[in-house]
Amino acid sequence: MIMNTASLAFIGMWEAILIMAVLLIFFGAKKLPEMAKGLGQGIREFKKASNEITNDLTRAIDEDPVKPVAKAVPAPEHTTPAASSATPTEPKH
């Protein structure tokens, strides 16, 4: 049997009543408002975060690109050749 997935997205009145009755039985009348409040706060926080990300991305796109700053390359250190090219001397006894 092939089901139309678009029809699964919509629930009827009796399905909604059945879902509410099951939730009421499982969680009780006192817990449902608390759960709905928490769900509402979660949705609000999600929308706020997604709006902030969208605004940040829009702002970043609208800004002028920052030119990279070239790092200064340190000059090589010069060592005195006396220490490296000197001929070894024999130790005195």
In tens digits, the chain (93 residues) has pLDDT values of 455 655 666 888 899 899 888 988 888 888 888 988 999 999 999 999 999 999 999 998 887 666 667 777 777 776 665 555 555 566 666
> What pTM does this model have?
0.45
The CA–CA distances, whole Å, from 15 to 3, 7, 11, 42, 81 equal 18, 13, 6, 25, 92
Alpha-carbon distance of 36 to 27, in angstroms, equals: 12
At residue 85, φ and ψ (nearest 5 deg) are -105, 0
